[in-house]
């Protein structure tokens, strides 16, 4: 009898696995969440199953990631939302961090006008005013349908009761142990005396208390009261420059998204202070003008042309992009046909243009890379694309004593000195110089695509300076090379950002003979183990949802 029961269980499990795999390939019709962590994705799906919309699920996933994905998920950072409602209307929310009011242009320079790079990367001076909590509150006020407290309860339970670490998470936490010990006086939950192991339980009691305050008091639970005082105490202890007024005055901003087109597809992406949307639309226009679809995927000609396009676009990023509340960004000109025709007309299939000869276009005017992205579509047809960050892995490595959350190191995304590269090698200019209350330039590229006026794709990725090029190439993989969404995500990526003049490429992307041909043309290579971690949703020909979760991490797509 016992043997029969065991056989029944075995065949039941096999049947379930078969059906799950079948459903996954055919797609889902009621909703999907794709994020960097299985617990966060499941929380989002549960919210959708309980009648919530994509915005409710996004709020649940954001707070869940602040608990279960500490290297990038956050309440101490910021990010961007791009959304599309089921009636076709679109918009975006900027909850990017801001420089403290006491920030100054030369705050990271010594008396000899030399960059003191450690100050912009580690410790209290590296942090901008966090925007994530305000952003989620504003998202809920405008689009939320479920009770705010219910959306935070799953994350609160995870912080209080703990969750089991994956192998990757254990390795990651151990790798930054020394930095944590150096920058934090008190013991913090992210440090394990004997090092972390897979399946160890991570309990975060101080973060639990902070999330409780946010649950009960929304914005006031973070930007004022006990949490704010703990944050200011931390800043005072570490010679930081946050003030209570900085916290009181922080506000997320609803902005118009950047709109472009590629082969009868409507591209909806984030505008400044993100460089992502403008750069993405520029790159897609270059791909269209040069007919890159005619060349074999990741062939010599394809890699050459895409790299030439990317390098020209990143040259513009240096000069013309910054916080639009402080700098007049010529967005419409940068994505105009005439401007881009001039920009890409100098690309030659047989000649590599040195970066030293590539300049920004002429206009007459009167991001380790630990970000995280998640994509959500609900049964009503609403779509949300969110990229959020604390910049480097575990941000500034400072955990707010008594509050349990990590502070970002987003100040490094400013031009700490015009012409000097940041932690991702991106060079900055005057448009992105440090000013108090200014938002720093970003590469985050949350994107939604329509096909024939219907929702088609929701996508984005972490990856610092490689974010834009990863999104760009994933779009081409689907539209031009007919890959399904998982194939498009899995596909090897490469990246060129103008300076340094080198193609960053994932290992085993191309054959040696192709690489040699490109080197003979003048291209240089820098190999990496991975580029990006795309988390995407595709609406297939059957109008069902397919998820593409990046296998470069612990990412997972869950649908129902």
Contact 535, 548 (CB under 8 A): yes
Please name the helix (run of DSSP H) or strand (run of DSSP E) that holds residue 547, with its range, or none.
Answer: strand 545-549
Does residue 412 lie within any of the structural domains? no
Does residue 454 lie within any of the structural domains? yes
Examine the pLDDT at 403 and tell me if it is beyond 50.
yes
DSSP 211: H
Per-residue pLDDT reduced to its tens digit, 210-263? 999 999 999 999 999 999 999 999 999 999 999 999 999 999 999 999 999 999
pLDDT of residue 13: 39
Strand extents, DSSP E, 100-223:
163-164, 201-202
Strand extents, DSSP E, 390-460:
447-451, 454-459
Per-residue pLDDT reduced to its tens digit, 459-492? 999 988 899 999 999 999 999 999 999 999 999 9
Domain coverage including residue 278: 258-369+448-540
Structural domain count of the chain: 1
Does residue 23 lie within any of the structural domains? no
Q: What does the pLDDT average to over 519-527? A: 94
Does residue 131 lie within any of the structural domains? no
Does residue 309 lie within any of the structural domains? yes
- Let me know if 243 is a catalytic residue: no
Q: 525: number of CA atoms within 13 Å, CB side?
A: 21
Percent of the chain beyond pLDDT 90?
81
Examine the pLDDT at 164 and tell me if it is beyond 80.
yes
Average pLDDT of every residue of the chain: 90
* pTM of this structure: 0.92
Q: What contacts 175, CB < 8 A, 6 or more positions away?
A: none
Does residue 522 lie within any of the structural domains? yes
Examine the pLDDT at 373 and tell me if it is beyond 90.
yes
Does residue 211 lie within any of the structural domains? no
Does residue 142 lie within any of the structural domains? no
Examine the pLDDT at 365 and tell me if it is beyond 90.
no
Per-residue pLDDT reduced to its tens digit, 284-339? 999 999 999 999 999 999 999 999 999 999 888 878 889 999 989 999 999 999 99
The CATH number covering residue 531 comes to 1.10.246.130
Per-residue pLDDT reduced to its tens digit, 35-83? 999 999 999 999 999 999 999 999 999 999 999 999 999 999 999 999 9
Per-residue pLDDT reduced to its tens digit, 78-126? 999 999 999 999 999 999 999 999 999 989 888 888 877 788 899 999 9
Residue 504: pLDDT band with limits 50, 70, 90: very high
pLDDT of residue 368: 47
SS3 content of the chain, % helix, strand, coil (to 5): 40, 20, 40
More confident residue, 7 or 40: 40
pLDDT of residue 205: 97
Instruction: Report the alpha-carbon distance of residue 37 to residue 281 in Å, rounded.
Output: 29
Residue 143: pLDDT band with limits 50, 70, 90: very high
DSSP 354: P
Radius of gyration of the chain (CA): 23
Nearest to 27 by CA among 374, 377, 372: 377
Given the residues 371, 387, 447, 461, the one annotated as active site = 371
Match 């110089």 to its residue by tokens.
Answer: 433
């Amino acid at each position: 009898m016992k043997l029969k029961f065991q056989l029944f269980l075995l065949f039941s499990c096999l049947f379930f696995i078969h059906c799950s795999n079948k459903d996954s390939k055919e797609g889902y019709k009621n909703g999907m969440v794709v994020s960097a962590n299985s617990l966060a994705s499941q929380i989002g799906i549960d919210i959708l199953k309980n009648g919530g919309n994509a915005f409710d699920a996004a709020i649940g996933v954001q707070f869940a990631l602040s608990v279960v994905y500490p290297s990038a998920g956050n309440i101490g950072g910021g990010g961007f939302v791009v959304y599309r409602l089921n009636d076709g209307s679109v918009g975006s929310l900027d909850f990017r961090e801001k420089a403290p009011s006491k920030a100054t242009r030369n705050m990271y320079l010594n008396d000899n006008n030399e960059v003191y790079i450690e100050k912009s990367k580690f410790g209290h001076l590296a942090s901008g005013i966090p925007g994530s909590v305000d952003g989620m509150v504003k998202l809920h006020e405008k689009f939320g349908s479920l009770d705010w407290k219910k959306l935070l309860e799953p994350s609160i339970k995870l912080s209080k009761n703990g969750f089991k670490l994956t192998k990757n998470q254990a390795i990651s936490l151990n790798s930054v142990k020394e930095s944590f010990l150096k920058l934090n006086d008190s013991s913090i939950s992210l440090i394990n005396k004997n090092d972390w192991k897979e399946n160890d339980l991570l309990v975060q009691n101080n973060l639990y208390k902070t999330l409780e305050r946010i649950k009960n008091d929304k914005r006031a639970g973070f930007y004022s009261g006990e949490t704010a005082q703990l944050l200011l105490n931390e800043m005072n202890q570490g010679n930081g420059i946050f003030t209570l007024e900085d916290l009181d005055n922080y506000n997320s901003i609803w902005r118009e998204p950047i709109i472009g087109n590629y082969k009868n597809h409507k591209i909806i992406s984030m505008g400044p202070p993100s460089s992502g949307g403008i750069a993405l639309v520029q790159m897609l226009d270059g791909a269209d003008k040069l007919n890159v679809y005619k060349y074999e995927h990741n062939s010599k000609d394809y890699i050459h042309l895409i790299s030439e396009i990317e390098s020209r676009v990143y040259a513009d990023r240096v000069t013309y992009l910054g916080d639009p509340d402080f700098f007049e960004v010529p967005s419409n000109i940068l994505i105009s046909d005439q401007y881009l025709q001039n920009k890409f007309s100098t690309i030659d299939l047989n000649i590599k243009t040195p970066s030293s000869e590539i300049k920004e276009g002429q206009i007459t005017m009167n991001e380790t890379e630990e970000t995280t992205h998640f994509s959500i579509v609900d049964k009503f047809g609403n779509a949300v694309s969110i990229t959020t960050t604390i910049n480097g892995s575990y941000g500034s490595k400072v955990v707010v004593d008594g509050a349990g959350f990590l502070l970002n190191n987003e100040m490094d995304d400013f031009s700490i000195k015009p012409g000097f590269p940041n932690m991702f090698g991106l060079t900055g200019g005057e448009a992105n110089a440090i000013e108090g209350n200014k938002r720093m330039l970003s590469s985050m590229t949350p994107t939604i695509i329509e096909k024939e006026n219907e929702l088609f794709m929701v996508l984005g990725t972490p990856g610092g300076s490689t974010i834009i090029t990863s999104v760009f190439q994933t779009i081409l993989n689907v539209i031009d090379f007919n890959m399904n969404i998982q194939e498009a995500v899995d596909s090897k990526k490469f990246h060129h950002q103008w300076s340094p003049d080198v193609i960053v490429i994932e290992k085993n992307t191309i054959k040696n003979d192709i690489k040699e041909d490109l080197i003979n043309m003048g291209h240089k290579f820098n190999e990496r183990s991975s580029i990006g971690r795309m988390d995407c949703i595709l609406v297939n020909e059957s109008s069902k949802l397919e998820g593409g979760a990046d296998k470069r991490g612990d990412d997972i797509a869950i649908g129902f």
